[in-house]
Chain A
């Protein structure tokens, strides 16, 4: 069983289109995240949800809208895609071990290519 699964794995689309990436975790974790990994492999947090509530919203264009229908799912919808949105997007989940101690489990990533 895959702990954190995201679909699709690859996504090629034209500029201006709207697309969604889905993520599900079966670990029973309370917190889920979306990260963006650029071509230099830097992982930057975009959003974090805790029990379906948005708790972290980094400086991300409002064309990106996360949605968490329940605590096991966190989807990412992107409007009006731009060339600069091309990257690998990772979903992750975590659970508090103790205060300030977290361990994240990542999905396999979605490679988004905007042409």
Chain B
């Protein structure tokens, strides 16, 4: 059974600071997604990475897929209160679209 471990579990920072969230696994994934979930809502897809070593940027968010496709990171530059939320990584590794989710990282950005 694949398992994605996210770290840290909780992160509280001041507005303007940078932060990095990690997602690690011992398994190789064909693709990995990052989602953000806000209270009372479902997870919303932020990005999908597919190629080992791939880097994608979404405004102040930078996503990286490890060379071996077993890990990923999410870096937020100059965090804003609107970045507050639960960040989830999910990996897909078989042809039927079965996602394995990490336990999530709760990010709180205070003004």
Q: Please list the residues of chain A having a beta carbon within 8 angstroms of any beta carbon in chain B.
A: 4, 31, 33, 35, 40-45, 48, 50, 55-56, 90, 92, 94, 96-109
With contacts defined as CB atoms under 8 Å apart, how many contacts are there between chain A and chain B in the complex?
76
Q: How far is the CA of A94 from the CA of B31 in the complex (A)?
A: 14
4 closest cross-chain pairs (CB), A and B = A100-B30, A106-B42, A102-B97, A101-B31
Given the complex of chains A and B, what is the CA–CA distance between A50 and B96 in angstroms?
8
Number of interface residues of B (CB under 8 A): 29
Q: Out of A43, A44, A45, A94, which one reaches B43, CB within 8 Å?
A: A43
* Chain B residues with CB under 8 A of A44: 101
Residues of B bordering A, CB below 8 Å: 30-31, 33, 35, 37, 40-45, 48, 50, 86, 88, 90, 92-101, 103-104, 106
Partner of B45, one of A40, A103, A109: A103
CB pair B97–A108 under 8 Å, yes or no, is: no
Q: Which residues of B contact A42 (CB under 8 A)?
A: 101, 103-104
Write 7 A-B pairs (CB below 8 A) sorted by A numbering: A35-B101, A43-B101, A48-B97, A92-B42, A99-B30, A101-B31, A101-B48
Chain B nearest CB: distance from A13 CB in Å?
20
Partner of A45, one of B33, B41, B45, B98: B98
